[in-house]
Amino acid sequence: MSEIRSAALIVNAKSRKGQKLFKQACERLHGLPFPVDAHAVEKPEHLERTVKRALAKKPDLVILGGGDGTVSGLVDLLVGPDVILGVLPLGTANSFARTLGVPLDLDGAIQVLADGVPKRIDLGMIDGDYFANCAAMGLSPQIAETVPHNLKKVLGRIGYLGWAGLQYLRFRPFILTVDDGVEEKRMRVVEVRISNGPYHGGTWLVDEAKVDSGQIVVQAVTGRYRRTLLKNWFASFFGLAARHQDTVTFSGKSLKVETRPPLPISIDGEVLARTPVEAKIAAQAIRVMVPRDPAERGALLDS
């Protein structure tokens, strides 16, 4: 694309596929019509400073290689600068890439960088912290806090789901309160999803959530027994209509969310907050590279 004259690639080499695919990515990126300054980051705590150094050179495109946690952890740095975000989905679930319609294979994702188009999208916010895709309360943070990193890296989604089964046995339902500024609603729930996109854990869960809607969506899976969550996950994983039976959805530009007891919140797989929180939408906060053909854009609407 004529708009892009230079790019920086930052890969989380500790993500499931990052270390293995970094060299392959560099080889394929040589075919792009602009130079790419590539960095493989072995220690996750060094990712932020690597991105800052890359941004100091004022590239037109910053390509993040890793999973949803990598993107969400770094997306704050891309709000404001006149830069386009490109995504190489090298993680386990790759929910954000799925939402954008970016292919999950390396060649397909790089093709989007080569001939895609920039699109302005929303970001979610939890108490002022930006996130790309989905935050959750309930079993998901419990899993995220306890899952061994090597299990996720070696076995991927199958290992992650197996660990989820073990944590499920220790889980208890909780009370959720959602306040949209006009009305406050309280209910007993087994999971809460604060969504900027429809995917969570690589599975389509929140129909109403879109990255260009201008609204944040809170979806609650209601129930007094933990088996309701299992039923909802099963129906969602297989795309069954039953996944809508126990869900209640709220949407708006800002929603206050509280739980009893107070609970940790996982933001795109990383536990980073705790209830109560204010969930907001940052409308059209960043530009991302998406497939040129509208038919390939997955969950993106009305480009």
pLDDT digits (tens, 9 = 90+) for 186-236: 999 999 999 999 999 899 999 999 999 999 999 999 999 999 988 998 999
Residue 240: CATH number of its domain: 2.60.200.40
pLDDT beyond 80 at 144? no
Query: Based on the domain organization, do 101 and 156 belong to the same domain?
Result: no
**Domain membership of residue 168 as a residue range:** 131-283
Query: Based on the domain organization, do 233 and 277 belong to the same domain?
Result: yes
Length of the chain counted residue by residue: 303
- Answer for the pair 87, 116: CB distance below 8 angstroms, yes or no: no
Average pLDDT over residues 291-300: 60
pLDDT at site 81: 84
Residue-wise over 144-176: b if at least 16 C-beta within 10 A, else e? beebeeeebbeebeebbeebbeebbeebebbeb
pLDDT at site 157: 64
Count of structural domains, the chain: 2
pLDDT at site 297: 46
Least reliable range by pLDDT among 133-142, 190-199, 245-254, 290-299? 290-299
**Residue 303 in domain:** no
Query: Based on the domain organization, do 161 and 231 belong to the same domain?
Result: yes
Query: Based on the domain organization, do 138 and 115 belong to the same domain?
Result: no
Query: Based on the domain organization, do 114 and 236 belong to the same domain?
Result: no
Least reliable range by pLDDT among 114-118, 121-125, 140-144, 213-217? 140-144
pLDDT at site 1: 45
Query: Based on the domain organization, do 184 and 85 belong to the same domain?
Result: no
pLDDT at site 148: 73
